[in-house]
Amino acid sequence: MKKTSFLLLITAFCCLQKPIFAQIQTGENVAVTSTESGKVRGYIHNAIYTYKGIPYAEAKRFMSPEKPKPWTGVRSSMVYGPVAPLIDPTTSVQDESEFVFHHDWGFTNEDCMRLNVWTPNINDGKKRPVMFWIHGGGFTAGSSQELPSYDGESLAKKGDVVVVSINHRLNILGYLDLSAYGEKYKQSANLSILDMKAALEWVKANIENFGGDPNNVTIFGQSGGGAKVNTLMAMPSAKGLFHKAINQSGSFRTAMLEKTDTQLIASEVLKALDLQPSQIDDIQKIPFEKLSAAGKKALKLVADKMKAEGKPVIGFGLSWGPSRDGEVLPYQLFSNEAFEMSKNIPLLIGTTKNEFTPFAGMATFNSTQEQVMEILKKKYNSKTDAYLEAVKKAYPTHTKPSDLLDIDFSFRPGAVLQANQKSALSGGAATYMYLFSWQSPVLDGKFKAVHCMELPFVFNNIARCEEMTGGGKEAYVLADKMSQSWINFAKTGNPNHKDLPKWEAYNSTKGTTMFFDNTCEVRYNHDAGLLEFGR
């Protein structure tokens, strides 16, 4: 037989053989399981069953979520569902930062109540811990697919856990308070939070069919997602739907607007739309872009009015978000009543060292010591030496001149305040504090431990996020340690494991904080003096 003919025969034979270890498995009867609304079909990748875009609720505009309509047959659930409409759609990006973050903007639709599930198995009778991810983007933007780090496959595989992530209503669609205009709109001020509760109810009713334990659910989120975690902890009707909580860089908003404020915003929205109260139902038909523009105008008018009256404007500026409506959210987030409600929920909380400061400090990244000192002396005057001493005590190994400038004072103080209050509750569950100080080498190191930098490590997704982490050996080692802490916390309420120093529960006296870095270490009240400069 000629050599060419022999090779063709071998090739044909190989093509006829089914691969023993297929990387991805798809098909009509692959990864099929049931939900209350009907059967769904996903796919299996890297031995993880994956489902995307499953409806967990539905709702008319400005109305409370209801269970989705049932479907017949098997619903294909293999791609992400729609994303909530955004008040500021992305039309351009900065090249370097977009390279680092690598967003996936998705497609928008007001019918956006969808969730995704990653699980090691659906048919083995096991009840795995459920890790319920809530995306960032404040209360106005973001989605469950926005960042590559959000993919739950690696975390599910590493920890033998079920990962769930959700999309929900945002901005004006999730928080416009129309309660003054009719019973059907009575909960409209906090619809976004009600969507999250509806997703948790879906988990309670369905997650056993995905190999999960409805009685061991950890809610976790970063930035706006962390703030949403706080909000759910202050929501009486969500009690019992989750059992542990993780807040990553999400304690920036410690108070909410009151009903008088949110109803005033709604009144200004109606004026901007030229609608009378008797025409309120017409608001459901107004194009989103027009609605959003009216919302922006109303927020500015009310913010100016509040400032003129000497009232504090909450957060970084008046924007859409949850409010104390007296029903869905009866208490302020950091009130004694809210903390008492969640006292039995173990909490893991922390921030990154730099958060948003690298963006502000790009121009000073390569500044000399003399140039940095000139900036500091203008800012702190006679207190400059005290500031330098506090920085040296807090971060002794960070010696680049710009390290003196780009320390976060926006997110860390709120996290410390929350940890102090939560850990002080008599007989309450443990609180654990962390600080992510690992410095990314990407683009000469200018992004440092920027906001979101910990996400690839939490999800064990270094390979998916090389643009952010550099993909080096040190990143993989730290991701193994950090993701294991999140997994252990989800399983037991305790993040300790053999590859970390002993991590004690937090209290305000010791200020115990786990530093996640190339060398992980526990430190005590490391920045107590430094935080005074951020007040």
Report the greatest alpha carbon distance in the chain: 95
Task: Name, in order, each residue with C-beta under 8 angstroms of 7's C-beta and a sequence gap of 6 or more.
Answer: none
> Which of 144, 179, 192, 223 is flagged as catalytic?
223
Residues 431 and 510 sit within 8 Å (Cβ to Cβ): no
In the structure encoding, which two tokens stand for residue 222, read together?
Answer: 């970063």
Query: How far apart (Å, rounded) are the C-alpha atoms in residues 418 and 408?
Result: 16
Q: What phi, psi does 436 have (nearest 5°)? A: -90, 110
* 3-class SS of residue 93: coil
Q: Which residue stretches of 309-365 are H helix?
A: 336-341, 357-360
Q: Give all strands (DSSP E) within 400-533, no chain letters.
A: 431-436, 512-516, 521-524
* 3-class SS of residue 46: coil
Bridge partners (DSSP) listed for residue 162? 130
* Cβ neighbourhood burial of 156 (10 Å; 0-12, 13-18, 19+): buried
Annotated active-site residue 135? The verdict is: no
Distance of CA 42 to the CA centre of its chain: 24
> Which of 153, 201, 268, 355 is flagged as catalytic?
355
Residues 524 and 443 sit within 8 Å (Cβ to Cβ): no
> Which of 135, 243, 398, 451 is flagged as catalytic?
451
| Residue at 18: amino acid letter | K
Annotated active-site residue 223? The verdict is: yes
> What is the CB neighbour count within 10 angstroms for residue 339?
19
Helix, strand, coil fractions of the chain, as percent rounded to 5: 40, 15, 40
Annotated active-site residue 102? The verdict is: no
Residue with tokens 């053999």: 498
Catalytic residues: 223, 355, 451
